[in-house]
Structure 1
Amino acid sequence: MGLISLIALSVGATLGTGIFVVLGEAAPLAGPAVVVSFAVAALAALFSALSYAELAGAVPVSGSAYSYTYATLGEIVAWVCGWCLLLEYGVSVAAVAVGWGSYLNEFLGSTIGWRIPDALSSAPSDGGIINLPAAVVVLIATAVLLDGIRESARVTTVTTMIKIAVLIFFVVVAVTAFNSDNLHPFAPMGVAGVSAAASMVFFSFIGFDAASTAGEEAKNPQRDLPRAIIISLGIVTLVYVLVALTAVAAVGVDDVSSSGASLATVLEQVAGRGWPATILAAGAVIAIASVVLTVLYGQTRILVSMSRDGLMPSVLSRVGRKRVPTVNTLVVGGVVAVLSALVPLGELVNATNIGTLVSFALVNIGVLVLRRTKPDLPRTFRTLVPLVPILGVGLCVWLLAHLPGVTWLAFALWSGVGLVVYFGYGRRRSALNRVAERETV
């Protein structure tokens, strides 16, 4: 993949449920100041993106933050990071798939007047039996990935351009109903509300690092990976701020948060239940499906790296004739399909955020360590050290502090399971341990 494909991969993995759905979840927390929450989350992502860019240029391999921490902080820290990334990528795919189901229902309702029954489109805790659309889109994305990375990259590039066009269309329509009265009071919940919303909408920026998982498929990884990460984050931030501002100003916070398909609801308020809302829903169905594809791709490549290091079973890194890790892809697709079918959106978003913020903090620390231990290592991009990594860690910790207690409890349980797997399986079978044993002999 060249620079354009890598940018499309990152933008494609980022632009999706975050703005199409999570905006409606976060707006009640901050009021109109949810726009500021997006800016704060973007700032936190920016510092981590700069650290990612330096490590992507210095350690241009697949595996994203896992590989970077392995190279800089050692095996056990890399395991913790990789375990967090499994949570980030796997759970975020499930969250994205749940959002896709909401827009599919909106599209079906506006075109043929029929919606999938709640029993078959909602998680059990939301009053349904199974979220069938969410599971189906994950299985479709799994099938596309099994067809090879070249085909997946082409699909991603096309769908990314479609989703940007759809969001620009939304801004153009929504701005016609711009009403500054809807922006007052601007921050009814104060700084606490803005912070809580920022912790939630950080989910919207997850995926900009997807290019860093494609080190082995990139034509010129040292040159193109840093560029792709920074350019994609800039594109995404601009789109998010414009969409959030025009949505809230057009209809107010209450209407933005009244539906799972929040942006389609905004256009229904602005233009009536007509073609604008239908176009938006159709575009969202395509856009969010592409996020499922790209983030699922990232998940499989992280597992490949962990498997090659001996921390996961070797079968997960075996590739077929199309250079696709077939067993890995099938396992990931199956697990994520079950999650998306049974767990509601809000819980998935918060679980994703905590795993992501921990892994981002470790990447920032990795930059500091590598600058100290390998100061002469060739780097195609250099961030401002130590300022940027320290600010990156600080903002990650700040956002972590505003996540709910139940999310921390779930993360503690997940981490405990991860440590049991590491000490019970990975540590004894790791490549690093095998090298140490040979040297001892």
Structure 2
Amino acid sequence: MREVRREGGGIGALQGAALTLGALIGTGIISLPSLAAEAAGPASLVAWGLLLLVSVAFAASFAALGSRFPDGGGVTTYVRRAFGDRASTAIGWAFFFTIPAGAPVAAGFAAHYVADALGRGRETALVVTALILVVVTAVNWFGIEASARSQLAIAAVLATLLVLVIVLALPQASPDNLTPFAPHGVSGIGRAAGILLWAFVGWEIVASLSGRYHTPSRDIARAAAVALVVVAVLYVGVAFCTVAVLGPDPGPAPLSDLLVTALGEPARPAMTVVAVLLTIATINTYFAGAAELGASLARDGSLPTWLAARGGAQQVPRRALGLVAGLALLTTALLGLLRRDTDATLLMTTATFALVYLAGTAAATRLLAGWGRLAAVISVTASVGLVAVAGWRVLAPVVVGVIGVLWTLRRRRPVAAAGNR
């Protein structure tokens, strides 16, 4: 296969690794170790381990697909090649319109850290959530390359700080906090796995950035490998410290609590800054990928054509970006009016991501060969399990996907009728 290059620009392996880390490790490491510990106790470490192993297969599958088919459509491009336009449209609509619903969840994790540090409540958290969404939109407005360079610096600082948290907290670990190991049994591990799915989504949105790499055939695999190693070290370290240091009731801000345990209460504001940077890194990647996804879907006729427009020297899909940002802010406002917390859409969002993983990895079994196909088969099996854990909540993205297919059929019918006259 001929090597694809982007002449005059594009992101490299290190920048790609930083964007991938942002998608994988940002908000997941802020609050999910605590939520998983509440669901399964120390046995939540089993769920972490299993999902890390599955993530290896996901990384291999999506890296192989991105290297072979670099395109802003990402998963929808793979599904289109493997299963046709209707399947691609359905999964594209479900994925694209879930990102604005999930963005307030991600921003809300950091917003709660800020509210906790200020001694304020839900209203403050909602305001901070909206501010984070606005900041990330502004960063992406100037293009993926500028965004990737800034994210590389953020990723280096954050990885260093998180390693420091782990090293400082480990001496405070107590074996007593590891017993009973599974207070809620196997079902608790299953619930923890369902919660932790949020921590391992990210490969699917990074796929939509594959067309922005300078040399996809080389750099995507390198970026995925670097990101996977860093994610494994940081997630395992923070998860273990959460249960071994903080005990059965770790609280909503475990990173802050771990640092406070080691250094005292004055350390809490510093971790709040880290939480905000982690969140910005995550949403930055998702907004960049969502903008590329929306423009690609519009290009292929699965969304209104006006969303395909790009502007500026870097050809930024600003209309798609603006739609994602507007819907995310609208979701935040609705949560405020309904007096709901920002994590209200968490499980629906993870259900959509599970479905996207299933569609993408199923496409990979048809499009890849050799080791790539083996990784895809493992990933499909894991994705079926993730969809099963999501349960009835997958009905929401299925309904959105059906609406998307009906929209495209209705849109094309007048064109076909005109052609027959």
Normalising by structure 1, we get a TM-score of 0.85
Deviation at 1:116, TM superposition (A): 4.0
Q: Is the aligned partner of 1:303 residue 2:294?
A: yes
Tell me how far 1:185 sits from its aligned partner. 1.2
What corresponds to 2:215 in structure 1? Answer: 220
Task: Answer with 223-232 or 338-347: which moved more.
Answer: 338-347
CA distance in 2, matches of 1:74, 1:45: 27
Render the CA deviation track for 1:105-133: whole Å, top value 9, x for unaligned: 24xx3xxxx44443342xxxxxxxxx111
| 1:76 partner letter | R
Cα pair distance change 1:191/1:269, threshold 3 Å: same
Amino acid at match of 1:324: V
Structure 1 segment 341-420 matched on structure 2, within 5 A: 341=333, 342=335, 344-371=341-368, 383-385=371-373, 387-403=374-390, 405=392, 408=393, 411-420=394-403
1:19 counterpart (29, 46, 69): 29
User: Residues 5-404 of structure 1: matches in 2 within 5 Å?
Assistant: 5-106=15-116, 109=117, 114-121=118-125, 131-254=126-249, 256=250, 258-259=251-252, 261-275=253-267, 277-322=268-313, 323-341=315-333, 342=335, 344-371=341-368, 383-385=371-373, 387-403=374-390
Structure 1: distance between partners of 2:307 and 2:409: 14
Contact 1:212 1:225 in 2 (8 A): no
The answer to whether the 8 A contact 1:250-1:270 is kept is no
Determine the structure 2 residue equivalent to 1:125.
none
1:404 positional shift: 5.6
Secondary structure of the structure 1 residue equivalent to 2:389: coil
**Could you tell me how far apart the structure 1 residues matched to 2:55 and 2:102 are?**
16
Contact 1:12–1:159 (Cα < 8 Å) also in 2? no
Report if aligned partners of 1:30, 1:190 keep a CA contact under 8 Å in 2.
Answer: yes
Aligned residue pairs total: 405
After superposition, what is the alpha-carbon deviation per residue over 1:27-58, rounded to whole angstroms, capped at 9, x for unaligned? 11110111211112222332222221221122
The 3-state SS of whatever aligns with 2:212 is coil
Q: Deviations over 1:59-90 (max 9, x none)?
A: 11122211111112111111222123225533
Q: Answer yes or no: is the 8 Å Cα contact 1:95–1:340 preserved in 2.
A: no
Which residue of structure 2 aligns with residue 378 of structure 1? none
Percent of paired sites with the same residue: 25
CA distance in 1 between partners of 2:380 and 2:211 (Å):
28
Is the 2:209–2:288 contact (alpha carbons within 8 Å) kept by the matching residues of 1?
Answer: no
- Measured in 1, the distance between the counterparts of 2:269 and 2:164 equals 12
Measure, in 2, the Cα distance between the counterparts of 1:361 and 1:230.
22
The 1:100/1:429 distance shift into structure 2, 3 A limit, reads farther
- Compared CA separation, residues 426 and 271, structure 1 to 2 (3 A): farther
Are 1:12 and 1:157, in contact at CA under 8 Å, matched by a contact in 2? no
Cα drift, residue 370 of structure 1: 2.1
Say if 1:55 and 1:426 are closer, same or farther in 2 by CA, change over 3 A.
Answer: farther
Q: In 2 relative to 1, CA 414–402 (structure 1 residues): closer, same or farther, beyond 3 Å? A: closer
CA distance in 1 between counterparts of 2:397 and 2:245 reads 41
Distance 1:231 1:119 in 2: 38
Letter in 2 for 1:183: L
What do the CA deviations read for 1:403-422 (whole angstroms, capped 9, x no partner)?
364xx2xx424422431232
* CA gap 1:384/1:293 in 2 versus in 1, 3 angstroms: closer
Find the counterpart in structure 1 of residue 3 from structure 2.
none
User: What runs of 5+ residues in structure 2 fail to find an aligned partner?
Assistant: 1-10
Verify the 8 A CA contact 1:48 1:363 in the aligned structure 2: no
**2:190 partner letter:** S
1:427 is displaced (CA, Å) by: 6.4
- The 3-state SS of whatever aligns with 1:61 is coil
Q: Indicate the SS of the match to 1:144.
A: helix
Contact 2:90 2:400 survives alignment (8 Å): no
Q: TM-score, normalised on structure 2?
A: 0.89
Which amino acid in structure 2 is aligned with residue 356 of structure 1? F
User: Using a 3 Å threshold, how does the CA distance of structure 1 residues 72 and 414 change in structure 2: closer, same or farther?
Assistant: closer
What amino acid sits opposite 2:132 in the alignment?
V
Is contact 1:7-1:211 (8 Å) kept? no
- Name the aligned partner's letter for residue 82 of structure 1: G
Question: Structure 1 regions of 5+ residues with no counterpart?
Answer: 122-130, 376-381
Kindly report the root-mean-square deviation, in angstroms, between the aligned alpha carbons of the 2 structures: 2.5
Mapped contact 1:179–1:249 kept (Cα < 8 A) = yes
Aligned-partner residue type, residue 361 of structure 2: N
